[in-house]
Amino acid sequence: MFSLNVSPALSWRTTLCTPICAVLLFIPLLITADSGEKIDIFHSGDVTEDDSGLEVGYETVDYQWSVILSLVVIFGPQIGYIFQLYEIKSRGVATGYSPLVSVILLLSNALRILYFVGHSYAVALLFQSIISLPVHMVLVLSVLRYSASSGENSGGSRADDVQVSGGDAHDFSHRVTDAKPSFVTRILQGFDNFVSGMEESVSSSSTSDFTQYSFLYGLVITVSILLYYAAVLPFWRDAPQLVGYTALVLEATLLIPQIMRNYRRGSTKGLSLVLFATWVIGDIAKLVYFIVFKQPVPFLVCSGIQLALDVIVGVQVVVYRCCSRRSGPSLHEVNGPVAPGGDVVITAAAEPPAKDSWEGVVVNGKNTGI
């Protein structure tokens, strides 16, 4: 069976550079999707100048409401992540949140700041990106700290770690082994292994290592983009759009690691509902904004993808929480986190067995007595 195995010791070079290399493959498609005017990723539409030389929009907006709106734009997206940080600290575990979400946002916001260097946009959005960097840095460091202290496997339960044992379960295990997965299933399994390996790579790092590598790669990316501007901008005035599109596509994929983590764990416990609500509200607002101000098709596509991923997370929240109420506490809640490399053996049968037919659930060599 096809599988893509990623070592937990996956280097930080691969962890940080792979997302950028991947999204660069989509840049030509996004650029060619609009063959007309120059695309401005963060401005809403035509801008004119008044007698004082200041930029004004379609209509005059009351100054106080403008300030309030700017503050909402700057601090609104951070509220959900602050609640997620509180959730992690109050529960003492970080299994419900994928650190790759914050890693992706660190990269995308850094690129948005560098995009401003080559092409100015709304100052409120610039400050939003600047504020996001320390928020997500603190969030990732908290995930690393609590993962290390509890000894939990941040990648979540893996299908490879679950074995079926017992008399009646032998045939079930045999059928699963003999079944040949489809091509799509193998692709999804390989991608899941890759994402899980990246999560384990991030979570296995110490807080000092993560801080040092973040600073190092931030410096490398900054210098590289500034050199790119210096070399290309004199000949191609739309060169900064490449940086802006990279940030846009990166941000559109930020929920994929969280969705796969939820599916791998079979639970959304530990994921802040306030964070989920801010995802939904923010993505709906962006989609409406892009439609009203007639932004190019790539913006609508990326916003639509984000909203579709929000729906998937919402379905996971409803389904997993309903199942947890119906079935009671999970093995992780009863026995605590399973250390990396620990064996989890779950007895299963084709039909629901009688109580005395269960051979028990063994976690790390200990019978739980179930």
Does residue 362 sit within a domain? no
Does residue 30 sit within a domain? yes
Does residue 180 sit within a domain? no
pTM over the 0.85 mark: no
Does residue 16 sit within a domain? yes
CA distance to 89, 153, 308, per residue, from 144 (Å): 12, 11, 29
The answer, yes or no, to whether residue 189 has pLDDT greater than 70, is yes
| Torsion angle of C-alpha atoms 186, 187, 190, 193, degrees rounded to 10 | -100
What digits encode the pLDDT tens for the residues 298-356?
788 888 899 999 999 999 999 998 876 666 554 444 444 444 444 444 444 444 444 44
321/228 Cα distance (integer angstroms) = 48
Does residue 75 sit within a domain? yes
Residues forming a β-bridge with 362: 345, 367
The answer, yes or no, to whether residue 238 has pLDDT greater than 70, is yes
39/300 Cα distance (integer angstroms) = 13
At which residue do the structure tokens 């309030």 appear? 68
- In contact, 270 and 88? CB cutoff 8 Å: yes
State which residues form the domain around 240: 12-157+201-342
Mean pLDDT of 27-45: 41
- In contact, 338 and 6? CB cutoff 8 Å: no
According to the model, what pLDDT value does residue 115 have? Answer: 93
According to the model, what pLDDT value does residue 66 have? Answer: 78
Comparing 54-58, 154-158, 266-270, 316-320, which segment has the lowest mean pLDDT? Answer: 54-58
Runs of H (alpha helix) within 151-206? 169-178, 183-203
The answer, yes or no, to whether residue 60 has pLDDT greater than 60, is no
What digits encode the pLDDT tens for the residues 116-162?
998 888 888 899 999 999 999 999 999 999 887 665 555 555 444 44
Q: What is the DSSP string of 101-115?
A: HHHHHHHHHHHHHHH
Q: Into how many domains does the chain fold?
A: 1
